[in-house]
Amino acid sequence: MQLQQNISLKKFNTFGIDVSANYFLQISSVDELAEYFDYKKLSSPLSPLPTCILGGGSNILFTKNYEGVILKNNLKGITIIKQDENHIYIKTAAGENWHSFVMYCVANNFAGVENLSLIPGNVGASPMQNIGAYGIEIKDVFYELEAFDIEDKKLVIFNKQDCEFGYRESVFKRKYKGRFVITSVTFKLNKNPTFNTSYGAIEQELEKMQVQQITIQAVSQAVINIRRSKLPDPAAIGNAGSFFKNPTVIASFFTKLKMHFPAIVGYELPDGNVKLAAGWLIEQCGWKGYRKNDAGCHAKQALVLVNYGNAGGDEIVELSKQIIESVYQKFNVILEREVNII
């Protein structure tokens, strides 16, 4: 292991926040992971320090220098572990780039993740966040994952039920936060695709593309086109994608909101509740396109907070607080951040 000191984290987080870490270590195998936590236990300089597991850095907002150890998950590898008549099971290391994994599946006609194209980040974060887009969530294609138990120093297998998936939620964000390091995820994908094109503008984009026959490749490209038209590229403008979750309200409250705000956007859920479009709520409060110094709300998608260059994480957090307060005052709805604040 090569432990580095005082390393800038600017290139390791998609917000591009310029902070540093006291210690930085890149992990390329499960053995190195186990070695690190043994070393941390025995080594007096590191033993009292916190550890932050960093993947693609796409769902994190640093507000200050990290006075601990940043453990960069660089585990790599994609392996087909088994298949049957209808499904194929692909084990993917946590450090693989998510979009690259999706493109691998699309190229090989493995269906199920095409609607999740161009989502930033790494594979390891996908079940932690239960990432989702355009009618698909990780739980829909998830089979199992392996995670290193920091306390017991061993690998543990989690099935779908163990993960307790919810909307952008799993046991790894709450009950087991900080205890496990996800090392690989196995996905159950389809050999015979069932396309989900009714959500968002996929059908319109497919028409625009003049697609005659729907394929995995066409759906993936449609999603990529839509995301590129609405969302800023982190390489050009620092951001972490959607900053807030879409809030859920009971149907009777949505009916009251609809009376006062006829154009309000809401989607009925299977349990009878209604999911509101957080971006619409934020836009109605006048934040879309707002900018103060280098912190702002994106001009094309109000759900995305951005760093135009040299904003500090604390400036982004303050802006998010103001947005949360204004949405609550106008709609009596509380927005919840999707991004992890450190």
Active site residues: 168, 242, 338
* Per-residue burial over 225-238, b = 16 or more CB atoms within 10 Å of its CB, e = otherwise: bbbeeebbebeebb
79: Cβ–Cβ under 8 A, 6 or more apart, which residues? 90, 91, 92
φ/ψ of 201, rounded to 5, equals -110, 25
216-230 and 98-107 helices, crossing angle to 10°: 150
Single-letter amino acid, residue 45? P
**How would DSSP label each residue in 215-239?**
-HHHHHHHHHHHHHHHS--TTTSEE
**Angstrom distance (rounded) from CA 167 to CA 125:** 14
Which residue do the tokens 């028409």 mark?
207
- Ordered DSSP codes for 89-131: EEEEETTSBHHHHHHHHHHTT-BSSGGGTT--SBTTHHHHHT-
Return the number of other C-beta atoms located less than 10 Å from residue 47's C-beta: 10
Burial class for 334, CB neighbours closer than 10 Å (0-12, 13-18, 19+): exposed
